[in-house]
Amino acid sequence: MRRRTAHETESRLLQRAAEQLTAVLGEVPPRWLLVTVDHQQLWLVQGGRVARRYGVSTAAAGLDAREGSFGTPPGVHRIERRIGGEAPLGTWFRSREPVGRTWPADDSDDDLVLTRILTLEGLEPGVNRGPGIDSRERFIYIHGTNREAAIGRPVSRGCIRMSNTDVIHLFDQVREGDPVVIL
C-alpha cells in the first residue's frame, strides 16, 4: 500500500473543506482559513492555495461542539469579531477586554487569552450553531496563549491557540466575515 504524500494530503483536505464551504456558503471565497485538527495546523488559504501554515493547539477533547464538552467545534464558521488590533504583544484579555496586564511579565498558571482574539460564529445549524452546540455561545476563539510550548499538541479547552507572534500575523491577514473550516 502506497503512503500519501504531503501534497496529496493537503489537496485532499483543501478539497474536503472547499466542498463544505460550497455546501454552506454556496461558494468558495478567495480567502478563508482551514484548521486541521489531525495536523494541529491552521492554514491561510488564498486563491485556492495554502498561503501560510501556522501551528496551533486545538482541544484535548477532540472535535466536539457540545456545550461543556471542552471540544473544538467542527464545521464551517466565520470570523465574527477581530479584537485587540492595537494591543501590545502579550496583552491579557478577559471577557474579550484587556485587563491591563501582559504576559510574560505577569506570570499565571491559568490558561490565558493573549495578544489577539478572532471570535468564531458557527454557520451550520445542528453542527456548531443552535442550542447546546453554539460556537459563539461557547466563546470559541482563535487566540494567542501563554502555553506556547504546547503548540502542535491538542491541549486546549475548545479554542484554537496560536503563538502570540503568529496570531498577530494572522490577525493582520484576515477580516471579519472570513470563513473558517474546522476539520
Q: CA 89, CA 109: separation in Å to the nearest integer?
A: 18
Which pLDDT does position 2 carry in this prediction? 55
Q: What is residue 84's predicted lDDT score, i.e. its pLDDT?
A: 96
Which pLDDT belongs to residue 18? 97
**Three-state DSSP state, 90:** coil
Find out whether 77 and 121 touch, Cβ atoms under 8 Å. yes
Going by C-beta distance under 8 Å and a sequence separation of 6 or more, which residues neighbour residue 127?
65, 73, 74, 75, 133
Give 139-176 pLDDT, tens digit per residue. 999 999 999 999 999 999 999 999 999 999 999 999 99
- pLDDT interval class at 111 (50, 70, 90): confident
- pTM listed for this prediction: 0.92
Q: Dump the DSSP string for 105-162.
A: TS--SS--EEEEEEEEEE-SBTTTBSTTT-TTTTT-EEEE-S-GGGTTS--BSSSEEE
Look-up of cell digits 479584537: 83
Cβ atoms within 10 Å, residue 130: 13
Q: Which structural domains are found in the chain, ordered by start? A: 6-182 (2.40.440.10)
Picking from 2-6, 95-99, 121-125, which range would have the lowest pLDDT averaged per residue? 2-6
Which residues make Cβ contacts (< 8 Å) with residue 48, sequence separation at least 6? 14, 18, 28
d(CA 61, CA 80): 24
**Once rounded to an integer, what is the mean pLDDT over residues 93-112?**
77
